[in-house]
Structure 1
């Protein structure tokens, strides 16, 4: 009985911690997320966080579609000069950055204005590599609002002056985001490094 009480108490503490962390990250990102393209500050580089082009159903992944559209809108409004796409290319036949590049070009973004980060395996990797590999200390993050909040939190920890442009949402925040934010807070606490760094790439 005593062990059961300890387990229940531990579970409650973890749940409360996850809940508080979720809202703390939202608070930390307050004022740095923009829905209005006219009011968002200009940055040299917009960082598009990766997503699979296709959903499990085989249809276009709307998270992907809306991030492409948001990046194009920012570029055409001259709120960014370059687009850095950071995504997963960790297995044969799967290449998020190149999919984004092809669709960005189709929508009128010049190829020479697009840079690809093939080692953006997760949000932390994408944010840190934007600074350490691509030399950006100020960026405009492009993703859905819930994702942008977590990305800004990570960027702040690593000394990056980040704002975010919210792509159209697909659905309200999922339970998965609570866990993702808890993991992000632990990564920040323990200064977890990206899976890969490597040679620097100059965006000019």
Structure 2
């Protein structure tokens, strides 16, 4: 009996070690392969036609403002105001009547002064992979500036690189570590899922749809 438990613990240890190595490998691969495509300063980023803003909830479950949302809107407006992007493609989800990420982003940008004619909505950005692939396959844009926090941009651009999309990223302001601890932990697992989606599962967006021209 003791030997059986010993074997079980040993096998469990091997599995856990393998999982840890996989997480570290995926994280390292995504960070290093995208490092030259990410910018922090408006003045240094090349201009592009499209700025793709990745969705997030406007309000947290406790009723407070979501800083991820707030800082992405600030970053998107800064790029538009500096003429680094001409159109803003807002990609998110709207699973229920009272939750609509693209519409919330549009309202926030219009309030800041971005004209509605320069805003395009993608209601089927259920996942980062969906947002990136649909940008090319539905909206016909294969050259894009992704706008989100750095950790999110890294994964989005990794996907873009594997899907034939010429992407660069502009980093929205980071959220402090205490506020974002759960999100950052979840991101490590999201990166493993990202690699599996591309190289093993060959995952496609949940919805495709007719082509939409952004002009």
TM over 0.5: yes
Number of equivalenced pairs: 204
Q: Distance in 1 between matches of 2:24 and 2:91?
A: 28
1:117 partnered with 2:117: no
**After the TM superposition, which residues 1-204 of structure 1 pair with which residues of structure 2 at under 5 Å, given as runs?**
1-172=6-177, 174-189=184-199, 190-204=201-215
Q: Which has the higher mean CA deviation after the structures are superposed, 51-60 or 107-116?
A: 51-60
Q: Distance in 2 between matches of 1:16 and 1:92?
A: 42
Secondary structure of residue in 1 paired with 2:43: coil
Deviating beyond 2 angstroms after TM superposition, the runs of 4 or more aligned structure 1 residues are none
Secondary structure of residue in 1 paired with 2:36: coil
User: Cα RMSD over matched residues?
Assistant: 1.0
- Which stretches in structure 2 are left out of the alignment for 5+ residues? 1-5
Secondary structure of residue in 1 paired with 2:53: strand
Q: Distance in 1 between matches of 2:146 and 2:195?
A: 19
Q: What per-residue deviation string (whole Å, max 9, x for no partner) do you get for residues 79-112 of structure 1?
A: 0000000001122211000000011001010001
TM-score, normalising length: structure 1: 0.97
Q: Distance in 1 between matches of 2:126 and 2:138?
A: 15
Q: Distance in 2 between matches of 1:177 and 1:200?
A: 31
CA shift, 1:40, in A, is 0.3
- Alignment correspondent of 2:3: none
CA shift, 1:191, in A, is 1.7
- Which stretches in structure 1 are left out of the alignment for 5+ residues? none
TM-score, normalising length: structure 2: 0.93
Q: Distance in 2 between matches of 1:30 and 1:170?
A: 20
CA contact (8 A) 1:90 1:119 kept: no
Q: What per-residue deviation string (whole Å, max 9, x for no partner) do you get for residues 120-154 of structure 1?
A: 00100000000000000100000000000000000
Secondary structure of residue in 1 paired with 2:50: strand
CA shift, 1:3, in A, is 2.8
